[in-house]
């Protein structure tokens, strides 16, 4: 590594401004988990296949395992930890609970962020099952068989 190995980034994480001095080699996922202690986002595959590390960057859904941490500079990051407001779960989170869409829970933080991105984009619109499936095609779940996740997303879209 050269002396350029570290860089300052300023970004907001779940609404709070932060300044960090980070190793240029880190992924956003590594910074979230190791520097900020936000261990909601998980590392499943590390190569963009499973979505367990999904977070929102300026409200765009990305896999944080293949997103350079330095790209977060100047951006607003949202993770599962910021979704419950004042101790109250978000509508998407509540729907997952109600529909029993969680088993081991490893995939859940990533799924919730994908569902959150989808429901925010389609607020007040009617969506098809196929659209819900497509919007979650980047997330894998080894436990639930997806049926209850699908129901939870349908429920989160309801007005």
Can you give the binding site for ligand FES, defined by CB under 6 A? 43-46, 48-53, 63, 65, 102-107, 141-144
Closer to ligand FES by Cβ: residue 15 or 105:
105
Q: Minimum distance between the CB of residue 148 and ligand FAD, rounded to whole angstroms?
A: 25
What number of residues does the chain have? 159
Closer to ligand FES by Cβ: residue 108 or 119:
108
Contact of 92 with 149, CB cutoff 8 Å: no
Report residue 11 as tokens. 């970004």
Q: Minimum distance between the CB of residue 87 and other proteins, rounded to whole angstroms?
A: 29
Calculate the alpha carbon distances from 3 to 7, 9, 24, 72, 96 in Å. Answer: 10, 16, 11, 21, 46
Nearest to 52 by CA among 159, 155, 156, 138: 138
Calculate the alpha carbon distances from 84 to 1, 7, 28, 91, 126 in Å. Answer: 40, 31, 21, 9, 25
Q: Which entry of ligand FES, other proteins, ligand FAD, none binds 2, CB below 5 to 8 A by partner kind?
A: other proteins
Q: By rule CB under 6 A, what string of x and - marks binding of each residue 20-59 to ligand FAD?
A: ----------------------------xx----------
Q: Minimum distance between the CB of residue 97 and ligand FES, rounded to whole angstroms?
A: 13
Q: Contact residues for ligand FAD (CB under 6 A)?
A: 48-49
């Amino acid at each position: 590594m050269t002396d350029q190995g570290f860089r300052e980034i300023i970004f907001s994480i779940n609404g709070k401004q932060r300044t960090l001095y980070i190793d240029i080699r880190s992924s956003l996922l590594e910074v979230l988990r190791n520097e900020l202690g936000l261990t909601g986002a998980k590392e499943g595959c590390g190569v963009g296949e499973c979505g367990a590390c999904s977070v929102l960057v300026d409200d765009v859904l990305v896999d944080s395992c293949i997103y350079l941490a330095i790209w977060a500079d100047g951006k607003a990051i949202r993770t599962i930890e910021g979704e419950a407001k004042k101790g109250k779960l978000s509508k998407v989170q509540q729907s997952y609970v109600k529909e029993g869409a969680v088993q081991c829970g490893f995939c859940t933080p990533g799924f919730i962020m994908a569902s959150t991105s989808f429901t925010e984009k389609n607020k007040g619109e009617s969506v098809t099952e196929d659209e819900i499936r497509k919007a979650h095609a980047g997330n894998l779940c080894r436990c639930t068989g997806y049926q209850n996740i699908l129901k939870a997303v349908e429920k989160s879209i309801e007005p």
